[in-house]
């Protein structure tokens, strides 16, 4: 059995080699290296502009109210100017201070659709910045070390690219492989040999894992050198690729050509890359995202590449492995049935 799986794998490698798939994989990895190193900035200045208008007859010690915490502070001459500045720059906010020394009043102008809880949080942040609140005496307990240095923005994008290319490479390729073989009848011819259909499918899965690992090596070594635990990295990529290829095998079994399957293929892609938004926007983290298996894969990739973020979570990897096995078994049953029908 092992021998047959190996030869199936070898067959896929040969076909892939002839079809220049290895060259393509290396080419995409090199394109991404250039993209990460030269096109994306490492650090970005996301300071929000703050416009302040004061209408008071007392002096404010701005150092006292820690105004330097807001970067890019601009003082304006009247409320109209404040509003027109805010209108021109939708990411900025405005502060209007009025009243008397004994009874000062602060108005904060923001521009989003904030809910009540968030408005309250902003209020508390202002009180905090203005030094009104006393320091809390909670003991800060850190479970791990604090992040030693901020991660460069361009490097932070690497796990997303590993997810879309190395882990999800199988999704699109498996569709074409299956359609070609359905059209050429290879899959039906194979069914009359002593080989089992799951061995045939496993050959494809292993080949796509192999391509994913080649991509990972070519992409990550020039960017991170050898300070990354490659064993862990390869483990996550292999499990992720096994899962995504198995899912795609199921989808591909229902169609005969690319045009018919385009919708499912793209929908599957969109669902599996959705956790990217939780990754890029840390406060967006609904439970629905967390049940998408690629969520765990993406964050585990982050933890491996930037160890400050924490350790690999093995329980999640086990879940992905089990899901992969279940989907793979389902796909084997489906292909067996398809062949019998024929």
Task: For the segment 28-67, give every residue that binds another protein (CB under 8 A).
Answer: 28, 35, 39-41, 44-46
CA distances to 18, 133, 279, 297 from 271, in Å: 32, 44, 14, 14
Map residues 281-310 to x or -, x wherever contact with another protein holds by CB under 8 A: xxxxxx-x------xx--x--xx----xxx
Residue carrying the six token digits 């389902």: 330
Cβ 117 to another protein shortest distance, Å: 5
Q: Using the rule CB under 8 A, which residue among 22, 70, 130, 224 binds another protein?
A: 130
- CB closer to another protein, 101 vs 193: 101
Is the dihedral angle over the CA atoms 285, 287, 289, 291 positive or is it negative?
positive
CB of residue 174 to another protein, shortest distance in Å: 10
Smallest distance, another protein to C-beta of residue 154, A: 10
Which range in 202-210, 225-233, 274-282, 324-332 contacts another protein by CB under 8 A? 274-282
| Dihedral-angle region of residue 158 (phi above 0 means left; psi in -120 to 50 means alpha; beta otherwise) | alpha
| Three-state DSSP state, 14 | helix
Neighbours of 14 (CB within 10 A): 11
Considering only residues 206 through 245, tell me which ones interact with another protein, judged by CB under 8 A: none
Check residue 189 for interaction with another protein (CB under 8 A).
no
Query: Which residues have C-beta within 8 Å of that of residue 160, sequence separation ≥ 6?
Result: 273, 276, 279, 280, 298
Assigned token pair, 311: 């350790």
Q: Is 330 in the site for another protein (CB under 8 A)?
A: no
Region 140-179 residues binding another protein, contact defined as CB under 8 A: 140-147, 164, 172-173, 175-176, 179
Nearer to another protein among residue 77 and residue 134 (C-beta)? 134
Q: Which is nearer to another protein, 123 or 337 (CB)?
A: 123
Which residues between 92 and 121 bind another protein (CB under 8 A)? 99, 103-115, 117-121
Within 8 A by CB and 6+ apart from 51, the residues are 74, 75, 76, 81, 82, 85, 86, 92, 93, 94, 95
Cα–Cα distance for residue pair 28/8, rounded to 1 Å: 26
Is 194 near another protein (CB under 8 A)? Answer: no
Is 18 near another protein (CB under 8 A)? no
Give min distance, CB of 114 to another protein, in A. Answer: 5
């Amino acid at each position: 059995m092992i021998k047959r799986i190996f030869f199936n794998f070898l067959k896929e490698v040969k076909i892939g080699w002839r079809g220049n798939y290895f060259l393509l994989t290396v080419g995409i990895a090199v394109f991404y290296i250039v993209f990460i190193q030269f096109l994306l900035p490492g650090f970005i200045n996301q300071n929000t502009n703050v416009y302040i208008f004061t209408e008071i007859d007392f002096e404010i010690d701005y150092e006292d109210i820690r105004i330097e915490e807001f970067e890019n502070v601009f003082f304006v001459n009247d409320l109209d100017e404040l509003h027109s500045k805010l209108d021109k720059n939708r990411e900025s906010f405005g502060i209007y201070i009025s009243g008397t020394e004994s009874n000062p009043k602060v108005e904060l102008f923001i521009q989003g659709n904030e809910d009540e809880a968030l408005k309250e949080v902003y209020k508390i942040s202002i009180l905090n910045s203005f030094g009104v609140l006393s320091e809390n005496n909670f003991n800060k307990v850190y479970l791990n070390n604090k992040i030693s240095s901020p991660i460069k923005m361009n490097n932070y994008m690497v796990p997303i690219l590993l997810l879309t290319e190395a882990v999800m490479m199988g999704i699109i390729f498996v569709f074409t492989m299956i359609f070609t073989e359905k059209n050429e009848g290879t899959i039906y011819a194979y069914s009359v040999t002593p080989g089992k259909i799951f061995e045939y499918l496993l050959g494809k899965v292993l080949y796509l894992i192999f391509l994913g690992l080649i991509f990972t090596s070519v992409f990550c070594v020039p960017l991170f050198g050898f300070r990354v635990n490659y064993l862990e990295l390869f483990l996550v990529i292999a499990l992720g690729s096994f899962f995504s290829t198995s899912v795609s095998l199921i989808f591909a079994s229902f169609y005969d050509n690319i045009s018919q399957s385009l919708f499912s293929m793209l929908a599957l892609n969109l669902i599996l890359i959705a956790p990217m938004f939780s990754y890029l926007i840390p406060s967006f983290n609904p439970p629905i995202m967390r049940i998408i298996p690629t969520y765990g894969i993406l964050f585990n990739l982050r933890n491996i590449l930037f160890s400050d973020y924490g350790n690999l979570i093995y329980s999640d990897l086990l879940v992905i492995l089990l899901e992969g096995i279940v989907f793979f078994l389902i796909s084997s049953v489906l292909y067996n049935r398809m062949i019998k029908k024929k």
